[in-house]
Structure 1
Amino acid sequence: MKIRTRLTFLFSGITAAILLLLVTAIYISYARDREDDYYKNLRQQAVTKANLLFDAGIDPHVLQLIYRNSSSTLSQEEVAIYDTDLHLLYHDAVDIDKVKETPGMLEKIKQQKEIVFKQDQLQVVGFTYSHQNKTYLITAVAEDEYGLARLRNLGYILAFSYLIAVLCIIIAARFFARKALKPVSDMVDRVEEITATNLDLRVPEGNGTDEMAELAITFNQMLDRLEQSFDAQKQFVSNISHELRTPLTAMMAELEISASRERPAAEYLQSMHHAISDARQLVKLSNSLLDLAKASYDPAEINFKPMRLDELLMEARDEVLKAFPFYRINVNFEEPQEEEDYLSVEGNAYLLKVAFVNLMENGCKFSASHEMGVVVTWFKEYTILRFIDDGVGISKQDLPNIFTPFYRGGNGQYADGNGIGLSLAARIVKLHKGTISVVSKVGQGTTFTVEFTHV
């Protein structure tokens, strides 16, 4: 069942139930008021007839004649008067006698002073009446034909009005449900048009303030992320293809040249060295891509634990110097290492070491002396690492893009690389809720500043 239909039924059902309670309450309230009013009217008519009989001295036969000549004997109240000894003193029509006054009934009137009850459609009232220091028991019975007719008419009117109202409620509920869910229908229609080839389409956001607009805005934000992810994936695949093609083409060219004719052993050896160099470049690229993929994981899937930054820095320094013995990396601590907590962070040792290695290698390879320095400063809430070199520097045009994967700026002519190292370091720092920034001047060097919050 669609939400539109469910809302229509739910709203109509609740409103119809409330309206039914209201209609029932009106009918019952009117019926009770009519009944109470007619009991009062019966009592008043009986008192009037008793006064005519006792005070005015009208002959009982005359009163009986008036009763018998009434146009409707049902609506004409029938009065009977007894003394306290239960002797009948007057009766409008003994032969008709709509209600039988039994001794038990009369005794009940004497005890309770007044009783009322119904007998089919007839209403009966019995009460005590005092006149000239004497007490009488009077009963009056009649059918409220006019009142019951009005009650029936009211019932018909309420029932008809209820049915019409329920019908109008259903129509209105369906209209408003359709109107309220129209943004969802429009959203569904637009979503059906969105595919991998046109992720630039967006769903309508309506007035931008209600819940439907919030849903549309959230969905559009998700589409923004998906579009960026697809674009990044396309760019990533394109860059990988380009980076892999270069060393593979070089290896194939070397091997084809070597295999084209017989050559001296020295030339074969030289060709093998070139192939090995290209293979190493492929291995390094593969390792960088693997590290980049790890740095793109969901933080919930990565194992984080407290660790010391100074130990990771020294391990990263040793790893770089092992691969490049001619590099020189100086690590300086500006504060005495008395507070161990100031150098502790919550992180992943492998990824942090990868980031530090890339920043150190980057500083050394773009420096003419292959030398760079790491300065560590810490405060109560955070630690600052500065990776400083006096190399060729980075131009203002390249600075905004240096953390983009596979981007290589104008200084790429000074050293080999695949444009992954800095983007990988930036992702790892961001993964550890840190910040990274860069300041550089062409010909004077570059400083990368990394800031981490303590555990």
Structure 2
Amino acid sequence: MNLKTRIALNLSIAFSIVIGIVMTVIYISFANFRKTEFKENLEHSAIITANYISKLSAKVLNDEDKTVDSINNNEEDFLTKEKILVFSGDKNLVFSNVFDEKLVWDKSHLNTLDKQTKIFWTDENHENIGFKTKIKGMYFYILTSAEDVNGNAKLNFLKLVLVSIFFISLAFIWVFSFFFMKKQLKPLDDFKDKIADITSHQLTIQLPEQKSDNEINVLIKAFNTMMKRLNEAFLAQKEFTTSASHEIKTPLTRMSFQLENLSNLTKEVGAKEYITSIKNEVYQLSDTVNSLLVLSKVEEGKDIHFEKVRMDEVVFDAFAKVKKSFHDFEMDFEIREQEQEGDLTVNGIKSLLEIVFVNLFKNVCLYSYEPKAKVEISETLQNIEVTITNEGEVISAEEAAKIFEAFRRGKNSQNISGSGLGLRISKRIMDFHHAEISYSSNNKSNIFHLSFSI
């Protein structure tokens, strides 16, 4: 989950919880208000009943034959489904307003009123109040029960409204949060895209800065400053590499001619061999310098012209160049059976690709039991694969993992001269062509595998 989604999600959850709490508080507050208000109505109704009884004559109150009577108090009936029960001091029912159903009551409530003057309880949908009062020297228990139809209807309607508002708000907040965070963090998305597009040829990229001083703009300013410094350092490094290579190339060329002349002048075998050894070192150094010059020129963006290059031609031209220095070098070339008819061409720079194969062939000549390489080329629907195999001492897995690093040489090269830059340069050229190069070993075989996208 990315940062934008995480922030939007956390913001939505936080707002959802807050809104849920607010809605719950509103509902509970209204429910308590309804309950308190209805309790007051019940109490008012019970007081009216007590007033009505107080107006009755003592004869009516003491009439033992009268157990049930109608209570008409001439007050507006503001309670729905109200039931009024009046009990005498000995807890016998003496008055009621219910005639069409069987009366059932719980005497425990009457017993409770002996200890408390007033009680309130809820029974299913009915709310009840009871209190004990003294009228004309006699004690009476008055129980009033009613259903708050209007209040419960309003409470249910409020619940429906609050739930609807909650889910509508929830949907709005979640959608708004994601769009809001997407808009606010758009500079970060642009920042990410720009970074992904950066290569060694695009170090001059500058992100557009905003007028605000928020954290994102501070980050963009820091990035632009870093890119400026990085570009300056990279340019200085390339300038040094180019200048140094040019300065080194001229004396190397003179040394080569002088060694060649010196070799022709001397007739001593030992001296000739010594001069030849020095000359080979100079040639190798000259090749490395030339490779660095070509590569630096390409990385500066100069003379970049990709064209159709036949891989078999590149292999044979590289073989011819190596053959001049290593006369015993042999190559076993084979084109494998093709999935389809193809011309073995890739888009690239031929001079750079030749450097790759020259370096690989030189490794074959230096580190093989005999200077011989087997080269196999095959073409598929998507790639052109090249495999170079030679018989020689293999390197360990640890060394193989670092074989394409600069100045990295295996144990099998301890007694062999070299700069340790050949494979590193080859790897950079392959990366420049968006191609892949890898090393593997099999018994006594060293295998380099190259893959080019068509």
Task: Provide TM-score, normalisation by structure 1.
Answer: 0.52
Asked if 2 retains the 8 angstrom alpha-carbon contact of 1:45 and 1:77, the reply is: no
2:71: which partner in 1?
63
Deviation at 1:142, TM superposition (A): 0.6
Residue in 2 that maps onto 1:18 = 18
Post-superposition Cα deviations, 1:16-37, rounded to whole Å, max 9, x if no partner, equal 1111111111111211221122
Residue 229 of structure 2 corresponds to residue 221 of structure 1: no
TM-score using structure 2 length = 0.52
Distance 1:64 1:119 in 2: 25
Q: Report SS of the residue matched to 2:115.
A: helix
Closer, same or farther in 2 for the Cα pair 1:137/1:213, shift >3 Å?
Answer: same
Deviation at 1:264, TM superposition (A): 9.6
Question: Does the C-alpha gap of structure 1 residues 34 and 254 become closer, same or farther in structure 2, counting only changes over 3 Å?
Answer: same
Q: Is the aligned partner of 1:184 residue 2:188?
A: yes
Within the candidate set 151, 157, 162, 2:155 is matched to 151
| CA shift for structure 1 position 213 | 1.2
**Cα shift at 1:115:** 1.3
What's the offset of the Cα at 1:65?
10
Residue 146 of structure 2, aligned match among 138, 142, 151: 142
Q: 2:70·2:95 contact (CA, 8 Å) conserved in 1?
A: no
Q: Which moved more, 1:7-16 or 1:244-253?
A: 244-253
Bigger Cα displacement from structure 2, 47-56 vs 25-34:
47-56
Tell me, which stretches of 5 or more residues in structure 2 are unaligned?
61-67, 268-454
Fraction of identical pairs, as percent: 28
Shift of 1:132: 3.7
Residues of 2 paired with 1:102 and 1:161: CA distance? 43
- Residue 125 of structure 1 aligns to a residue whose secondary structure is strand
Aligned to 1:204, what secondary structure does the other structure show?
Answer: coil
Q: What amino acid does structure 1 have at the position aligned with 2:144? A: A
Give 1:30's aligned residue. Answer: 30
- State how 1:277-426 maps to structure 2 within 5 Å: none
Question: Does the 8 Å CA contact 2:130/2:141 hold for their aligned counterparts?
Answer: yes
1:160 pairs, out of 158, 164, 183, with 164
Using the TM superposition, give the Cα deviation of residue 57 of structure 1 relative to its aligned residue in structure 2, in angstroms: 5.8
Q: Distance in 1 between matches of 2:259 and 2:151?
A: 115
Cα offsets for 1:65-116 (capped at 9, x unmatched):
989x98x9x814211122332122211126535x733332211111122111
The 2-side partners of 1:133 and 1:25 are apart by 47
- Find the aligned partners of 2:43 and 2:243 in 1 and give their Cα distance: 105
The answer for the alignment partner of 1:172 in structure 2 is 176
Which runs of 5 or more residues in structure 1 are unaligned?
266-455
Letter in 2 for 1:63: I
Indicate conservation of the 8 Å contact 1:77/1:140, yes or no.
Answer: yes
> Deviations along 1:219-251, whole A, 9 cap, x unmatched?
223322321232122112113213322432332
Aligned residue type for 1:236: F
The amino acid that maps onto 2:96 is H
After superposition, what is the alpha-carbon deviation per residue over 1:382-431, rounded to whole angstroms, capped at 9, x for unaligned? Answer: xxxxxxxxxxxxxxxxxxxxxxxxxxxxxxxxxxxxxxxxxxxxxxxxxx
Residues 301-333 of structure 1, C-alpha deviations (whole Å, 9 max, x = no match): xxxxxxxxxxxxxxxxxxxxxxxxxxxxxxxxx
Match of residue 361 from structure 1: none
In the other structure, the counterpart of 1:199 is 203
CA RMSD, 1 decimal:
4.0
For 1:112, what is the secondary structure of its paired residue? coil
8 Å contact kept, 1:187–1:204? no
1:150 is displaced (CA, Å) by 0.8
Paired position in structure 2 for 1:212: 216
Amino acid at match of 1:81: V
Deviation by residue 1:131-185 (Cα, 9 ceiling, x = unmatched)? 3444321110010111111111111111111122112212221221111111112
1:43 matches 2:48: no
Query: Paired residues, what number?
Result: 275
Structure 2 residue 121 is the aligned partner of structure 1 residue 113: no
Cα distance in structure 1, aligned partners of 2:249 and 2:203: 30
Task: Give the letter for the 2:236 counterpart.
Answer: A
The whole-number CA distance in structure 1 between the counterparts of 2:162 and 2:152 is 15
- In structure 1, the partner of 2:87 is 82
- Report the 3-state secondary structure (helix = DSSP H, G, I; strand = E; otherwise coil) of the residue aligned with 1:164: helix
Residue aligning to 1:5 = 5
CA distance in 2, matches of 1:53, 1:264: 149
State how 1:230-241 maps to structure 2 within 5 Å: 230-241=234-245
- Are the counterparts in 1 of residues 71 and 96 from structure 2 also a CA contact under 8 Å? no
Q: In the superposition, relative to structure 1, how do residues 138 and 3 fare at CA in structure 2: closer, same or farther (>3 Å)? A: same
Alignment partner, residue 348 of structure 1? none
